[in-house]
Structure 1
Amino acid sequence: MSIGNSPEDDRPSIGRVLQQARIAAGLTVDEVSGSTRVRIPIVHAIENEDFSRCGGDVYARGHIRTVARAVGIDPEPLVQQYDAEHGGRPVPTPAAPLFEAERIRSEPRRPNWTAAMVAAIVAVVGFVGFTLFNGEDEGTSTAHVAEGSTPQKATAKPTPTKPADPKPVPSESAIAAAPLDKVTVKLSATEGKSWISAKDHSGQILFDGLLLQGQSKTFQDEERVDLVLGNAGSIDLFVNGKKVEDQFEPGQVERLSYAKGDPEAG
């Protein structure tokens, strides 16, 4: 008695399905890469069932979805097949606590210059009115003098009140009060979305998912934060309160690691 293959064993590979769909849609690998921003070598590798060029499971799933939509097929069955063949989707773990100063920091209140000016004007008008009123009382209690010969009474000029110096506004290029005994990393998606993965020094996953344009994430650990950026060219990176000036390209996958004291001065 022989045992037949299961239906899963007979289904075509993910790369084969994507390649056939691309050919049926009349698209080249260059055209798929241009429309998805997935680099040409990665598209070739996926069609050859090599997902090691993707930079991790989360990026492999993202690339499969992106390429599948570009060639006009439903990506979800392929993602489910990928999970079944690669051990399934990892159970998400809660992200490490956000940097406390960033969570509780409120927008500094700026001095209300309009209210200060109005208060100063009211004070001046009140002082002048009070002085004139006292001058009229003194004139009525003394003898009348000839018309036109009334001496002008000098009045003291009020001393203008110097407004308080405005409080400094925190710079957008740094994380305020980054502690020296920890490593703090902030990611901001400014030029598009990116799949990111962050782990602490013990290998625990802090975040594994998609960062949409305009969103930010902050991670902190006692020793080290390891990163994988799927679309590194779209990310602004701040480490320990300093912006990291990089030259990452759109669609580029970068593996980075930062510890206390990074980035190095100079």
Structure 2
Amino acid sequence: MSIGNSPEDERPFEDVSKEARPTVGRALQQARIAAGLTVDDVSSATRVRIAIVHAIEADDFAPCGGDVYARGHIRTLARAVHLDPGPLIERYDAEHGGRPAPTPAAPLFEAERIRPERRGPNWTAAMVAAIVAVIGFVGFTAFKGGDSGNDAKSQVAEGATPSAKSASPTPKKDKPAPPKSEPSDSAIAAAPQDKVTVQVSAPNGRSWISAKDHNGRMLFDGLLKKGESKTFQDSSKINLILGDAGAIQLYVNGKKIEDDFQPGAVERLTYTKGDPEVG
């Protein structure tokens, strides 16, 4: 009978290191699939571009534009798929060098301590400058007075009758610019009857929008800034996704859409030929 560890105690431990855990992108992809969401659904809910969602799920963070934006996208996508973003951010920092260390405060205080003392104003230089200015002003006044006397004598010799050319011309009144009017129901005549025309404008703020034709071809996918507008046209149907519908004003086939969109609401809309009707 031997005394000591049994063979079962000498079995190797299972690998439970951090490397065994899924990557940040893999964890986000698995959580999205488990939640029954597509990449389009996550992009619409978070306003993160579809290409960036695909890149992050493939652990490619270069399209994010930097570590700060990458952390923000990871946090947004994690919340959309019901994950705790804290462990994912920590894993990202561990794999990409961590957050930059804060600047120590000691050198700042040292720089403040060795700053030279302020000296008082140089009154001698100020007095010299003032004397030079007074002398220059006196000389200029005397010279100007002599020129004025000569001009007066010339005017008496030639006569004081003003010529017709010296009269100031009557200023012309500028015509006021015609006021810009918004598209109204009368614009229906300008819209082609055999096509569907959709104008999207952002008078109240910026909003991400996506527009596709009846074949699913992407017409536009991006941010519409405040004051900008886009017009889309198709032979039968236009599909829209509005990231912030409250900031958008729509004109379909020349008619203004009076839907009461709420700020921050995501709206999916479809418009066809004829009168504007939400599909």
TM-score (norm 1): 0.43
* Greater RCO, 1 or 2 (C-alpha within 8 Å, sep 6+): 1
TM-score (norm 2): 0.41
